[in-house]
Chain A
Amino acid sequence: MSRIEGVLQTLKGQGRKALIPFITAGDPHPDETVGLMHTMVDAGVDIIELGVPFSDPMADGPVIQLACERALKHGTSLRRVLAIVREFRQANDTTPVVLMGYLNPIEAMGYEAFADAAAAAGVDGVLTVDLPPEEADDVAPLFAGKGLDPIFLLAPTTTDERIRAIADHSSGYVYYVSFNGVTGAAKINVEEVAAKVAHIHELTALPVGVGFGIRDAETAAAVGRVSDGVIVGSVLVDTIARNQADIEELKRALTDLLNPMREALDSLAS
């Protein structure tokens, strides 16, 4: 069983929901990312999604675009991101880490070389935003064969036929994008999300994490009620941007954001 499956099964057994933060690796500086990851674990998160910076993040809004620019300015290459995960693993071998980003940096490194290096560094899953399952016939089995869970997106526009096909390519969890749009936009409709996630649950046994539009304890609880986990990104990345000059203050601010979300999710526990 993969580390991701293990964590999600344990949570399910406890009747709890996963809290999954996203931050961009190398933002505000690659030397700080491991520390920020440990801070988030201390604040009670279950899985960490670590963004691999890309020069042209087409699916992201301005907040994560700027995070990519800050990280790239300090030379945060894919290899550097893997080194960050390796360092994180020295002190933590329980919290799953999912790399999330775009295909081209992986393609440039080479799929096999990347899969080997990522598995060796302690990466647990890979989510490539611009890689639909149609183009992943070789990549998904390659990743899975190295012990990396291939994680794919589902969207409000995804048909039933595609939900089944995508679930077939996935392991760990599927990531449901709560609305049509880019990261950081604020237009989540909880009733619509609840209906769609319930429908996805009918079509696949995989856990469903929901991201996009979750910015506080209230939205986290509302979405956690209808899913297996919530993914929180832009509000954390924006906090990093605003506190980049003072890392201790930044860690306090991240903790202050995550603690109430954790409490709100745990208050749902049956």
Chain B
Amino acid sequence: MSVKLTEEMLTALPDARGHFGAFGGRFVSETLMDSLMTLEREYLRLKKDPEFQATFDKDLADYVGRPSPLYFAERLTRETGGAQIWLKREDLNHTGAHKVNNTIGQALLASFLGKKRIIAETGAGQHGVATATVCARLGLECHVFMGAEDVQRQSLNVYRMKLLGAHVHAVQSGSRTLKDAMNDAMRDWVTNVDDTFYIIGTVAGPHPYPLLVRDFQSVIGRETRSQSLEKTGKLPDALVACVGGGSNAIGMFYPFLTDESVQLYGVEAGGLGIETGQHAAPLCAGRPGVLHGNRTYLMEDDDGQIAATHSISAGLDYPGVGPEHSWLKDIGRANYVSVTDDEALDAFRMLTLVEGIMPALETAHAIAYAVKLAATMDKDQMVVINISGRGDKDIHTIAQLDGIEL
């Protein structure tokens, strides 16, 4: 079942209560409702404010270094023997990932709202670093919540955040990963709601977060669209992006949703294999439920308790996903697939050796699937992979697997 999307349909979503079809919404405790409604009102106003948009665009250009290149991976294409593979180089952004597009936008919102204290959750630490970075620049107090297990496996990013002046809170509850970091960030927010702005790092959470994060990240797809037309005279045939919460994927997909000829592939973390249950692939193997303020596909047991997840990449190790992805899955506009830890590791090594580009382990999931996909396509076709982040932060994990102590 696939629906032809029009601009009119897209501008009507999310609806006034934040729904994308059956998904999204605002499922939070009463204390937060007023703040969320104020944020929504102010964002919808600022979205149309030329001064706000000009400031955002200027920061993306001069501070982040946009536009990021669209690079033809010639040798990878030759080795794969199928469609042309192009890379959207979000790894070249300041702080090394796509996350900063969103933190620039939300920090700007926080400034317009007069909030001086910032909180954020982080998995791999990329969003935490991107948040700490904009807080340093704007002189805002910054608290980052990070699962204790992730603090350990992403120690480099923890240290980067501390150097940037952020307070990093290691979260000991639950599975001690991204979902627990988000729980504690929500607890902090409900406690300090009067003076605190919560910069959510992905397109999940209560309305209006999925909307505003998507808007801030859509610069990725807009640039890809015009760069593709400029360099090849046509639109890509397929876009591939990894999906944890799904912010880099939605940023890439959104400006192409009405272009029927462009196939969209979101790649979830298959962990040890979907059949083992040890994965983080709610769109491939979960069902709809309510967590962290929105209705979306979740990994849960029969009693509605949230399931433990597994992925080699901390940034994908999350049992939920942004509600707009759930909607795109159900209407058949985007395809959601998964690759395993091992496939992602192979892809990490391949891109590093063949193109001299070391991707984040999250991104390596997209690469692994894109290479399989490109091999089945014609040589005159074109696949774009969103290289959402660079791999420096994962060097310790890779070295450990190689039995090397750094």
Chain A residues close to B by CB (< 8 Å): 54-62, 65, 72, 77-79, 102-109, 129-132, 134-135, 152-159, 162, 166, 177, 180-182, 185
Contact = CB atoms under 8 A, between A and B. Distances in A.
A196 to B, nearest CB: 13
6 contacts: A104-B289, A108-B302, A132-B26, A155-B29, A157-B35, A180-B194
A182 B25 contact: no
A129 B26 CA distance: 12
A56 B179 contact: yes
A54 B17 CA distance: 25
B81 interface: no
Interface in B22-50: 25-35
Given A58-B292, A103-B290, A181-B190, A157 B31 contact: yes
Interface string B174-203: 100001100100110011111000000000
Given A134-B17, A135-B25, A182-B190, A153 B30 contact: yes
Interface of B: 17, 25-35, 173-174, 179-180, 183, 186-187, 190-194, 288-293, 295, 298, 300, 302-306
Contacts of B300: 104, 108
A162 B34 CA distance: 9
A162 B26 CA distance: 15
A180 B34 contact: no
A132 B30 contact: yes
A130 B28 contact: yes
Contact of A108 (B30, B33, B295, B303): B303
Contact of B33 (A54, A105, A132): A132
Contacts of A185: 191
Contacts of A153: 29-31
Nearest to B183: A58
Contacts of A131: 27
- B contact face: mostly helix, strand, loop, or mixed: mixed
Given A58-B183, A77-B303, A78-B304, A154 B30 contact: yes
A103 B29 contact: no
Given A79-B303, A180-B191, A107 B30 contact: no
Contact of A130 (B35, B293, B302): B293
A103 B27 contact: yes
A139 to B, nearest CB: 11
A182 B191 contact: yes
B323 to A, nearest CB: 13
A57 B174 CA distance: 10
Interface hub of B186, B190, B300, B302 (most chain A Cβ within 10 A): B190
Contacts of B186: 58-59
A78 B303 contact: yes
Nearest to A176: B30
B293 to A, nearest CB: 7
Complex A-B, nearest 3 residue pairs according to Cβ-Cβ distance, in ascending order: A108-B304, A105-B304, A155-B31
Interface hub of B289, B295, B305 (most chain A Cβ within 10 A): B305
A129 B174 CA distance: 19
Contacts of A59: 29, 186-187, 190
A102 B304 CA distance: 10
A60 to B, nearest CB: 8
A203 to B, nearest CB: 15
Given A58-B292, A104-B306, 8 more contacts: A58-B186, A59-B186, A59-B187, A62-B173, A104-B289, A156-B31, A157-B34, A185-B191
B191 A181 contact: yes
A180 B28 CA distance: 13
A180 B190 contact: yes
Contacts of A152: 30
B213 to A, nearest CB: 19
Contacts of B27: 103, 130-132, 135
